[in-house]
Each structure stands twice: as C-alpha cells, then as structure tokens.
A and B are shown apart, each in its own frame.
Chain A
Amino acid sequence: MGCWTVTRGLNTLKYFSPSTVEEAVEVLAAEPGAQVFAGATDVVPQIRSGKPEPESLVDLKKIDRLVSVADAGDKWVIGAAAPASHLTANADLVAEFPGMVEAAGLIGSDQVQSRSSLGGNLCNASPAADSVPGMVVNGARAVIAGSGGTRTVPVEDVPQGPGKTSLAPGEFVVEIEVDHRPANTGDAYLRLIPRTEMDIAVVGVGARVTLDDAGNCTSATIALGAVAPTVVRVPDAENALAGSAIDDTALDAVAAAASAACNPIDDKRGTIAYRQHVAGVLTRRAVAIAAERARNGGAS
C-alpha cells in the first residue's frame, strides 16, 4: 500500500493507495475522516474551491478488483472504480447491456470518461447520475466492503438523496454485479440535456424490456433519473408494458405513468413541468429502443 503523510501547519494530510480491499478496509477503519475516491472528478474541484479538506485521501484505483471488468460466468462483475472508457471499450459488455454502457458513457467528456466509474457515479448520490437508472433497470447489485465484512445490496438502495448514501462510515463499494440478461431482452438509456455533451441530465430514463417469442412484452423495468431526490422506478409503466405488444396504447400509458411518477424540482437546469413532460417523452422513446433491441436479440 502506498502511503504519504505530510504536515501543513497544524494539520496532517495523508494519502493512501491501498492495493487490496482488505488494506482499504483497514485504512478506512483507522482514518475516520478519510475521503475515498476513484475518478476524483468531483473531489479535486471541491478541494480546490475551498470546501473543508479531508484529512486523508484514499485512492481505490490501485486495487485490481476495483478496476477489473469480467464475465464471471453467471454474471458480470464490474469494478466500482473501473473507468467508463473501459466499459464502453468492452465489446461483450456493450453487446449485452448497450443501454447500461451508453449511460456510463455519457458521464462527462472523453477526459472524464477516463476517470468516471459506476461506483463513483453511484456514491456521489447525485439524483441526475446517468449510470444509475441504467444499472437499476438491469437489476444491478452493489457489493459493499467494510469492517463488518461485505454485503450486497440492490444498486437503488445505495443513494438516499442528493449527496447521501446508505454506506456506513468506513464502507465503500467494491464492485457492481449484473446477472446475464434473459433471452429476448434489451435495454436503453436516454437523457435530455440542452447541449449535446458536457451537461448534467435534466431528465434521464433507463428502460429494459423482455419479450416472448411472439414479440409481446413479458416484463419491463423503468427507472427515472433527475426527477426526484433519488432514482425512481415506475411500476405503473412496467405494468402497462407487461403483456402488451408495446403498441401505441401501451406507450401512451407508459409515458403518462412516467410523467406521474416524477417528483422533481424547479432549478437552474429545468422546471417541474418540463421534467414531468420530458420524462414521459423519453420513457416512451427509451422503451421503443429497448424493445427494438430485444427483438434483435438484445443487440444494439
């Protein structure tokens, strides 16, 4: 494990780069004021802007397990700190979960893509995090390590509101697990930003659809981002799709249900009315893309 300690006036600053999960757990137990980071795309500017400085910084990227992306037989295991650019470059992962990977691929510029990760995006707990709806609709789970051992929870259980997570002090996300998708399943993620790049989502929609051999929907999952304090599932839309041929009637119901499921705010990026309307529009579009992918065997 790399470790540096420096003093600045009365303060001591420490920087750790553990090489195993166990080392990281130990460091975090010993350093209650520690800030873990992966891409650090939010941490570095926060420190620079004069926010209170953490006493110690813990870089999780030197832990192999946190940066690997692997098909573990029955599921994908994606290191929590694996950069998004490694996900978008993984042809097998892209082929199986095009929507989830597209969502991860939308986080920031190419510069940011070298740093941003599923774990970081999740633990930032921004309501607008692009990758979270994509993970949620695919039933992804977060494997969490801490001094009490490891536990595995559904991804949607981690964010608790803007900037808040359910992680206990000393805990961190090790990896994201996603079971292989069933046959005839497709996923999609769409977001609305004013520009074409570099913006935070005003609305984000993840959708996953599974079809039977006749092309009718057997199950669907819809998750919305940026329209509530945390990611929102839309059971009414999912129920409207189940058993349908994903025709206009079903899609109208899906759009209405998505709009109704929003609990957004007015802020500098959008209004309540805008977010509600566009959540419906994008949900409809995302479901259509997911269904098309399901018909093509899940391919993008």
Chain B
Amino acid sequence: MALAEDTNPMQGFKWVGSRPIRPDGFDKVTGRAKFGADLVLPGMLTGAVLRSPHAHAEIVSIDTSDAEAMPGVKSVVTGADFPEPYGKPAEQDVQRNVMAREKALYEGHVIAAVAALTREQARAALGAIKVTYKVLPHVMNVTEAMADSAVVIHDNMITKNVDPAPEAPSNVASRTVFDGGELDKGFAEADVVVEREFTTKPVHQGYIEPHAAVADTTPDGRSTVWCSSQGHFAMRTYTSNVLGWDASRLKVIPAEIGGGFGGKTVIYLEPLAVRLSQKAGRPVRIVMDRDEVFRASGPTSGASLRVKIGAKNDGTITAADVWMAFEAGAFAGSPVGAASMTALAPYKLENFKIEGFDVVVNKPKVAAYRAPGAPISSFGVESVLDEVATKVGMDPIDFRMHNAVEQGDTATYGPKFPVIGFKETLQAIKDHPNYTAELGPNQGRGVASGFWFNAGMNSTATVNINDDGTATVVTGSPDIGGSRASMALMAAEELGIDVVSIKPVVADTETVGFNDVTGGSRVTLATGAAVVEACRIIVADLKARAAKGWDIEADQVEWVDGRAQPIDGSQPAVSLAELAKNWGRTGGPISATYSHNARGVGAAFSTQVCDLEVDPDTGRVTVLRYLTAQDAGRAIHPSYVEGQLQGGVAQGIGWALNEEYIHNDDGVMENPGFLDYRIPVASDLPMIDTVIVEVPNPAHPYGVRGVGEVGIVPPLAAVANAVAAAADRRITDLPLSPVRILDAILNSED
C-alpha cells in the first residue's frame, strides 16, 4: 500500500510523523468494535424515555400506576426518584436537564423513563403514563427572550456582570465584556467603517451514533455504567452528582464512541439507566432514537450579532465593536464567553469592545460543539473584515497578514501570545495553487481565518512494560478520532520500540488515574504529554538498571533506539526486551504513571479558502474547491491530523449552507432527522485540500498543538464570503440555503 504523500518530513523523529495503521482500526472495519448500543448483558432490560411534547409547560401531575402494571414493565422513574436539586447552580441545571421537575423547559425534556423486557413493552408503557401539563408561553430566540414583555423561564435568573445588578429576573443569564483602548477614537481614525448584523441558527453536532447507556446496579448500591462519551470520568462525576451518590459507587466503562464533537461531554441517559436498573434489580440499556438526539441533546447556540469594524486605507484595523447574544437553550451556559474571547483574537487591536449575552430560551440546553462559540463570532467578524478588505482595496490574505497577531502580541482576551503560527497559515494559503485558480461566471472565492485555544487540563497515563519487551499504554481519554494511534506513536518514539509492540488502551474509571474529557483539542497534547513523561520515567528507570549492571552512574548511560548503552561505548548495548526479561533481578516490574494538569499549552490558528458557484436562478451552491491550512505544531500521525482538518471543514460547510433547527409556532422541532436536518453527504463536497503548518508548540515535548477544533472556525465566513463574491451581494443570516440566496438575488441589491 502506498501511503499518502508524507506532508511531514520527519525532523529527527523515527515514529512521530509516520502513518501506521491505527491499533483500534481492525475492530472497526470488521464490525467487532463495541459501541454504546452494542453491549448485551444477561437479563438486560430495555429502557425508554417519555419526553415533553411542549416547549414550556408546568408539570401539574404524573401518574405512572397504569404503566407500572403493564406486561413486561419492571421499573418506572420520574423526578421523584432523584434527589431534590441541590448544590451549585450549574449542578442543579444538570440535575433538572436530566429529569424535569416542576416545569418542562423544552420539547424533548425528560418527564419519565421506563424499563421493560422488550422495546415494544417499554414504548407501550410510555403511552400509559398520564401527565397533566399546564402549557406556558415560550420564547424561542434571543430577540424574543430579551424583549421586555418576554415570559421569564427561570424566576430566579438575575443577569450576572451587570452593574448595578438588575432587580427583576430575566432570560439573560450573564453578560461578558472584553474591551481595550477607546472605540470612538479608533473609529474616528478609520477611513472605512463597515457595520453588519448577523444571525445564526442552532446546529447539531450530528454524530452518527445516538446516545446510549447501559447500567447494572447491584443490591449493594453500586453501579457499573457503560457509555459512549467523551470522558467517562466526567460521566461518573455528573451521574453521581445527579444521583446524590459518592463517585466510588459508580464504575464507568468507556464504550467505543461514535462521534461526539463536544456533544458527548455531558450526560443524558446515564442516571436514568442507573435508577431504572436499581429499581428493577436488572441491567438496563437505553438508546436514544435519532429524533430524541435532535430534540433533547445539545445543539450549539443560535445567535444574533452586530459587528462594526473600521480600518485605515493602508489596511490597519483601527477599531472593532462586537455585540453578541447567544441562545443557551433552557439553562444558562451558552459558549458566548469563548465566542467573545476568540472573536477578534487573530488581530492586533488597540481599540475594541466585545460584549456578549447568555440568553435562555425554550430549546434543548446547548452542549459544546467543536470550538464552541468561535465559529459564530468568527462568522460575523470575518465577514465584516472581508468587506473592509474589499473597501480598502486589499487582497484578503494581505489584509489579514497586515493585522495578524504574532508572538508577544497581547490577545484581545488578555494574555500574550507565545509562539504561534497564524501568519504561516496565511502564507500557506497564498502559496497554494488553489488561491489563484481561475474562477468562472457565478463563481466566488472566500477567505477566512480562525483562532481557538488548546485546552490543557488533567490527564493521567500509565505505561507498563511487558516481560517480552512490549508495552501497554493506558490512558483514560476516549479515542474519538485516532488518538490511540497517536499515543502509541509517542510511546514508540520515547521507548525506541516498534509502534506495533505498543498496545494503547482506554481504561475505565477504576483502572487508570483521572482524565478530563476528550475535548478542547487536548488529548494528543495533554494526555500525549503524560504518555511521553511516563515513558521518560521508564527510560530513566531502564537506564538506571543498566547502569547498575555495568556498575557505572546512570548519567553515564544513554538511550538510543530502544537500547541502553554506556556513553563511552565500554559495554555492548542492552535492549528494552533484555532489560524487561531480567526485571526480576533488577528491581521488579517496570511501570510508570504520570499525572499532570497541563498548562500554557498554546493556541491554534487556521486559514481557509473556499471556491464555490451559485446558481443565480435557484440559489443553489456548489462547493468547487476547499483548502485549509492549519498550524498543528507537530503532526504526530499526519493522516489523522488531516482527518481532523477535513472533518471540521465539512461540518462548517454544512453549518454555513444547510443545517438549522426548524421549530414551528408551538416550539416543536420540525426536522428532527437526517432527512431534513441536512448534514453534507459525500456528493455535496469536493476533496478537502489540507496544508499542515508546523510551528512547534514549546509547551509540548514534541511541539504538538491541538488540532481538533479550530478547523471549524473559519468555514462559516469563508463560505459566506465566497457566496458574497459569487452572487455579488452579502447575506448575513445562516444558513445560506437556496431559498435565502435566491431571495437575496431577486429582492436585494448590494
């Protein structure tokens, strides 16, 4: 097999930067891999969930007696089966989101759950639960929710970070502000000022695997939970909190996860399965139907934005004013904060203000979605920048290059940037043949850039050397896109043994130390660094053991290609396998664990260019070419880095063109399926060209930057800018569906 052309010439590395077959791949191409819904336990029951048909309603009464008496039904749970909401506000929100209490806050909110012998019996029992609702008025977007006359969803919600604090409750949970310099002065210096308003709709992460959980609760009050999540330690924390249990009573075993993109960092089914299992005395499996995934699991925010940017004729941005209001869903916690921090981060700015509002509405609580919030703010900012660049007569790449941040610049959200590769991504686009490819009639090219953080957070890795000289690398970070391959490569690099001799394992909550969720582009970076450090402890141990045998100091031994050898060459080298074979005589088994809270982990930038064609008579868009350049710091397994870049772009194109939550006047979702929630299909997309830029991150032993998220930041604006060029008018509301584009072509002038 000819490997794809290597975009990452190995710089002194033997394994890092190569493209071996991923160790978990064989199970996944043969159907063996066990995802959340695939687990079967003896005596297992099937669970099903009753959900609110109303967007906002008081739950007057629930009568489950008929359902409990139905054939095959073994247990029924409602809010009464869980502790009264307690603890911090965010914890109470999770408790109420998992199971509605006084009110149903969105269509799809959980009212009750049933476990029965068969799926049909469970569903029949749901129909026998009698719920009396008092339907309340609902608010479905930030404009409605922020209106003075709006129905207030939470009567204790006082807007945070407003001085003086409001006396009356509202649907605005909080306000976020970042500012610097003087806006008026900045706009006064500008030769060109562009101001636009934008809206975006909620979009779903769209993972193909519906949420699933299996729980086996035993009479000693302990439970084992299998679930597909982005972090089984977090699932344990949240689930035990909802149940009011000590975490030690829960063991969470990670199943393979069929896509998450942030949406599987939260819990939905786990506490229901645990309680149903506890009441029934048997294991229970609950799997969401696709429509439940859309109605009840986290999309990301819909939003309204206003962006005003001024620049001098030489292209220098003099001022930027960004106002944003984000739908949080039924509970506080939209990503407006991250959207505010990232909105202007790629640019040097003296005078700026970014103000964001977190607004509750009667929709499912939003969950993280790949660089949460940043695509939305970037859509507004990068669209306006595109117009500013045009007005000052500059090429969009040159314009961004002129204003781009670099090492030492202060980010709009506060800190100084360490070594970053933003300008390198701009240059990579400019140097690529796509950027000068000829465009035909009705075709347009759009450029956009984006920034996203790399999270560090907590990771643990344990490396065990086996007695034949192979190694097992144990972490607690679920593998959602090939991270086991990366862990194996980094361990191979450190230990100097063949990558196929390394078995990477994602272990349960009782088998490995704590790991935060797989999210924030952190796993290869933070968990990877833990693997590297654990391997380095092993290598130090091995060198010490060899030194002892040679009766020299450990610092007189070096580790080369998987062998210990005296620096002076006085003894023949001894391999890892030989050292392992003799461990009984040199101090016992060889094992190391490294835990850390990774900090100072850097920043990721992406620049993208989209070429597309608009059919001026129907408004349909055809994407012709797409190129993304992203700073990966160091690509450990370039194929999976490319995969992250391409996947982020595809999701961003879907968000830009066709994806949206559609609700009717009753607040009921009208498109809870893949037929009318239109994620891109294979024939919608061209090949997605990638350039992996490598500006090593000094905070990682190999220079890794997180690559998972920033790729979804630029596409919304890149596509919108290309549509603006192709159709000769700017459309500021997403999605850029055929209906919306044709309407603009027929009814607006630009």
Note whether A and B contact each other (Cβ less than 8 A): yes
CA distance A49 to B671 in the complex (A): 14
Chain A residues in 8 Å Cβ range of B123: 50
Asked if B675 and A197 sit within 8 Å, CB to CB, the answer is no
A277-B746 contact, Cβ under 8 Å, with A192-B620, A268-B662: yes
Chain B residues in 8 Å Cβ range of A199: 675-676, 678
Chain B residues in 8 Å Cβ range of A202: 738
**Interface membership of B743, Cβ < 8 A:** yes
Chain A residues in 8 Å Cβ range of B658: 194-195
Asked if A278 and B681 sit within 8 Å, CB to CB, the answer is no
CA distance A273 to B127 in the complex (A): 41
Chain A residues in 8 Å Cβ range of B289: 49
Which chain A residues (195-218) contact chain B, with CB distance < 8 Å?
195-200, 202
Which chain B residues (549-563) contact chain A, with CB distance < 8 Å?
none
Asked if B743 and A194 sit within 8 Å, CB to CB, the answer is no
Asked if B681 and A198 sit within 8 Å, CB to CB, the answer is yes
CA distance A22 to B743 in the complex (A): 53
**Which one, A196, A273, A278, contacts B684 given CB within 8 A?**
A196
Which chain B residues (716-749) contact chain A, with CB distance < 8 Å?
737-739, 742-743, 746
Q: How many residues of A contact B (CB 8 A)?
A: 23
* Minimum CB distance partner of A8 in chain B: B120
Asked if A195 and B675 sit within 8 Å, CB to CB, the answer is no
Asked if A198 and B671 sit within 8 Å, CB to CB, the answer is no
A194-B71 contact, Cβ under 8 Å, with A269-B676, A277-B746: no
Chain A residues in 8 Å Cβ range of B683: 195-197
How far is the CB of A105 from the nearest CB of chain B, in Å?
14
**Which one, A194, A268, A270, A277, contacts B620 given CB within 8 A?**
A194
Q: Which of A271, A274, A282 has the most CB of B within 10 A?
A: A274
**Interface membership of B617, Cβ < 8 A:** yes
**Which one, A9, A50, A268, contacts B671 given CB within 8 A?**
A268
**Which one, A197, A268, A277, contacts B681 given CB within 8 A?**
A197
Asked if A277 and B742 sit within 8 Å, CB to CB, the answer is yes
Asked if A194 and B737 sit within 8 Å, CB to CB, the answer is yes
A192-B738 contact, Cβ under 8 Å, with A199-B675, A200-B675: yes
A163-193 Cβ-contact flags toward B at 8 Å (1 or 0): 0000000000000000000000000000010
* Minimum CB distance partner of A273 in chain B: B743
**Interface membership of A242, Cβ < 8 A:** no
**Interface membership of B670, Cβ < 8 A:** yes
CA distance A49 to B126 in the complex (A): 13
A274-B739 contact, Cβ under 8 Å, with A194-B678, A195-B678: yes
B675-692 Cβ-contact flags toward A at 8 Å (1 or 0): 110101101100000000
Asked if A268 and B670 sit within 8 Å, CB to CB, the answer is yes
Asked if B678 and A278 sit within 8 Å, CB to CB, the answer is no
Which chain B residues (630-688) contact chain A, with CB distance < 8 Å?
657-658, 662, 670-671, 674-676, 678, 680-681, 683-684
CA distance A273 to B680 in the complex (A): 25
**Interface membership of A29, Cβ < 8 A:** no
CA distance A251 to B127 in the complex (A): 55
How far is the CB of A265 from the nearest CB of chain B, in Å?
13
How far is the CB of B73 from the nearest CB of chain A, in Å?
13
Chain A residues in 8 Å Cβ range of B619: 274
Which chain B residues (261-310) contact chain A, with CB distance < 8 Å?
289, 291
Chain B residues in 8 Å Cβ range of A196: 681, 683-684
**Interface membership of A228, Cβ < 8 A:** no
B31-72 Cβ-contact flags toward A at 8 Å (1 or 0): 000000000000000000000000000000000000000010
B61-99 Cβ-contact flags toward A at 8 Å (1 or 0): 000000000010000000000000000000000000000
Asked if A278 and B618 sit within 8 Å, CB to CB, the answer is yes
Chain B residues in 8 Å Cβ range of A271: 739, 743
CA distance A270 to B619 in the complex (A): 12
Chain A residues in 8 Å Cβ range of B681: 195-198
Chain B residues in 8 Å Cβ range of A192: 618, 620, 738
* Minimum CB distance partner of A267 in chain B: B670
* Minimum CB distance partner of B674 in chain A: A198
**Interface membership of A281, Cβ < 8 A:** yes
Which residues does A use to contact B, with CB under 8 Å?
A: 8-9, 49-50, 192, 194-200, 202, 268-271, 273-274, 277-278, 281-282
Known: A202-B738, A271-B739. 20 other contacts (CB 8 A): A8-B120, A49-B289, A49-B291, A192-B618, A192-B738, A194-B620, A194-B678, A195-B680, A195-B683, A196-B681, A197-B684, A199-B675, A200-B676, A268-B662, A268-B676, A271-B743, A274-B743, A278-B618, A278-B742, A281-B617
List 10 tightest A-B contacts by C-beta distance, closest first: A196-B683, A281-B617, A274-B739, A268-B662, A268-B670, A194-B658, A196-B684, A197-B683, A197-B681, A195-B684
| 12 chain-A/chain-B pairs, Cβ below 8 angstroms | A49-B289, A50-B123, A50-B127, A194-B657, A195-B684, A196-B684, A199-B678, A200-B675, A268-B662, A271-B743, A274-B739, A278-B738
